[in-house]
């Protein structure tokens, strides 16, 4: 966080689950000491070993079951015991075991607040992440970067998260710029670098340096003079999208003078990304443009874009896109998003969204808030609602105030059992199916009439 912002004040706006290596972590962790257990082989393992090693849960269970199961089926001590085992496994010889351990820790931290536990082991976790980023490849680097993001979210602004960023920042930057590294790893590192800087940095020059690093990546997708009117996607497009979104997030906490400089440089180049043949790039560019308009109008209420007419025409075309060569799902998603973007650019309007979590609700009423929410939702997944209730950092970002204290009786009435959720979802599915059937019947009647 830049020096011009106090540490305890809110910001302006306010992925990986257990994979194929999950079984590896389970198999490698016997009930006894780790040093007495042979690491789970990448190629093979006996059924006897797998059945014997049941001391720890499958890391993926944290993502699937969330905090409710942790509260119901195990005590805090049980959870911490499992996490200690996963932390030990980040030193395992098997890459799959290390990856599964990283994902298990990440899923646990995403679904439950464990501030005191990780504060005591912050240096150990940081060292493990650093080692996996340096020596690991592909999926292991991706899992390590994802864990680093959640670690900083748990720690919040402060000396501890600053130390994490100071240690990992140079390594993340190196991987992002390394053309030989896995695209998925570089993509997750770009998101991690932006999020950790958003949370932890207290140096304005470090913020600008991170912005420049991300900028150097996504600007490679800009339309060149020699190019045609369409930007063809490449294997690096996903990396460019993540870099653009992370850059946009950091722009929301920049001083006004820096925002003005970035607007002058990018306002006329960013619309070229709307011609990309990748739907996710078009959407990312459109939402970034809407956010830039919002920031510009916040500084100057009478802000005017010289190419406003051509830009609105492009946005209107994307909002009503009916090209047959594009997938129906992509067209539906694109039209929905660009209708909102067009309203924001033309009418300065934003469709307010409501997010409910526990007994509280939050209103997302601007693009800055929406982009910030979407970024953290992408990282925390289903744990986002839990963190909105309990995480002081996120509550400060979204201006929610101190966490609401609820007694045990109130919490019990709020919980819905898995069976009740199943019944609710089944009823909703039947209702949707019935509505669709009626709609089809009406269309059939109209067709027969004509």
| Residue pLDDT, tens place only, 227-285 | 566 778 888 999 999 999 999 999 999 999 999 999 999 988 999 999 998 999 999 99
Global confidence as pTM: 0.77
- Structure token digits, residue 347: 């009418």
Cα(245)–Cα(291) distance, integer angstroms:
11
> What are the percentages of helix, strand and coil residues in the chain, rounded to 5?
70, 5, 30
Residue 181 CA: distances (Å) to CA of 99, 134, 281, 446: 17, 11, 21, 57
Could you list the beta-strand ranges (E) of 207-258. none
Q: Which residues does residue 360 pair with via DSSP β-bridges, in sequence order?
A: 357
| Residue pLDDT, tens place only, 357-409 | 988 999 999 999 999 999 999 999 999 999 999 999 999 999 999 888 765 55
Question: Judging by beta carbons within 10 Å of its beta carbon (0-12, 13-18, 19+), is residue 210 exposed, middle or buried?
Answer: buried
Least confident interval from 274-278, 289-293, 325-329: 325-329
Is the Cα dihedral 335, 340, 343, 344 positive or negative? negative
Does pLDDT of 216 surpass 70?
yes
Q: Which contacts (CB < 8 Å, 24+ apart) does range 158-165 have? A: 158/7, 158/200, 160/119, 160/122, 161/196, 161/199, 161/200, 162/200, 162/201, 162/202, 163/122, 163/126, 164/122, 164/126, 164/196, 164/200, 165/196, 165/197, 165/200, 165/201
Cα(293)–Cα(304) distance, integer angstroms:
9
Residue 301 CA from chain centroid, whole number: 31
Cα(350)–Cα(290) distance, integer angstroms:
10
Q: Which residue has the higher pLDDT, 421 or 296?
A: 296
| Residue pLDDT, tens place only, 119-151 | 999 999 999 999 999 999 999 999 999 999 999
Cα(343)–Cα(204) distance, integer angstroms:
34
Contact between 281 and 221 (Cβ < 8 Å): yes
Backbone angles phi, psi at 231, to 5 degrees: -90, 115
**Tokens 């063809």 sit at which residue?**
232
What does the pLDDT average to over 186-215? 95
The pLDDT value given to residue 445: 52
Q: Which residues does residue 355 pair with via DSSP β-bridges, in sequence order?
A: 362
The pLDDT value given to residue 202: 85
The pLDDT value given to residue 5: 47
Q: Which residues does residue 353 pair with via DSSP β-bridges, in sequence order?
A: 364
The pLDDT value given to residue 217: 96
The pLDDT value given to residue 428: 72
- Structure token digits, residue 181: 């590294």
DSSP at 267: T
């Amino acid at each position: 966080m830049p020096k011009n912002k106090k540490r305890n004040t809110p910001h302006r706006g306010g992925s990986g689950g257990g994979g194929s290596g999950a079984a590896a972590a389970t198999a490698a962790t016997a009930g006894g000491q780790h040093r007495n257990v042979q690491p789970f082989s990448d190629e093979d393992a006996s059924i006897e070993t797998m059945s014997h090693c049941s001391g720890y849960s499958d890391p993926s269970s944290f993502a699937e079951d969330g905090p409710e199961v942790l509260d119901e089926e195990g005590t805090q001590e049980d959870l911490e015991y499992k996490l200690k085992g996963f932390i030990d496994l980040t030193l395992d010889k098997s890459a799959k075991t290390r990856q599964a351990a990283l994902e298990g820790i990440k899923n646990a931290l995403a679904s439950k607040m464990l501030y005191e536990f990780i504060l005591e082991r912050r240096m150990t976790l940081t060292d493990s992440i650093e080692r996996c980023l340096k020596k690991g490849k592909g999926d292991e680097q991706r899992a390590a970067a994802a864990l680093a993001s959640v670690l900083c979210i748990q720690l919040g602004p402060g000396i501890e998260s600053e130390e994490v960023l100071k240690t990992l920042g140079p390594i993340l930057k190196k991987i992002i710029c390394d053309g030989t590294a896995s695209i998925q790893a570089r993509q997750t590192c770009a998101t991690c670098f932006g999020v950790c800087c958003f949370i932890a940095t207290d140096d304005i020059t470090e913020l600008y340096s991170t912005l420049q690093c991300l900028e150097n990546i996504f600007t490679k997708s800009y339309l060149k003079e020699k190019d045609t009117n369409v930007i063809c996607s490449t294997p690096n497009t996903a990396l460019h999208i993540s870099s653009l979104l992370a850059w946009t997030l950091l722009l929301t906490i920049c001083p006004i003078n820096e925002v003005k400089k970035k607007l002058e440089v990018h306002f006329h180049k960013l619309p070229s990304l709307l011609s990309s043949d990748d739907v996710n790039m078009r959407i990312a560019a459109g939402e970034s443009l809407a956010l830039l308009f919002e920031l510009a109008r916040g500084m100057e209420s009478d802000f005017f874009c010289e190419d406003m007419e051509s830009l609105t025409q492009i946005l209107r075309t994307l909002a009503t896109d009916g090209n047959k060569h594009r997938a129906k799902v992509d067209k539906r998603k694109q039209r929905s998003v660009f209708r909102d973007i067009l309203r924001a650019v033309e009418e300065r309007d934003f469709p307010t969204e409501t997010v409910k979590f526990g007994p509280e609700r939050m209103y997302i009423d601007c693009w800055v808030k929406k982009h910030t929410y979407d970024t953290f939702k992408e990282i925390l997944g289903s744990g986002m609602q839990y963190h909105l209730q309990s995480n002081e950092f996120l509550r400060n970002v979204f201006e929610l105030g101190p966490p609401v204290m609820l007694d045990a009786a109130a919490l019990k009435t709020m919980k819905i059992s898995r069976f009740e959720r199943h019944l609710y979802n089944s009823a909703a599915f039947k209702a949707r199916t019935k509505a669709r059937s009626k709609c089809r019947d009406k269309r059939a009647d109209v067709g027969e009439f004509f």
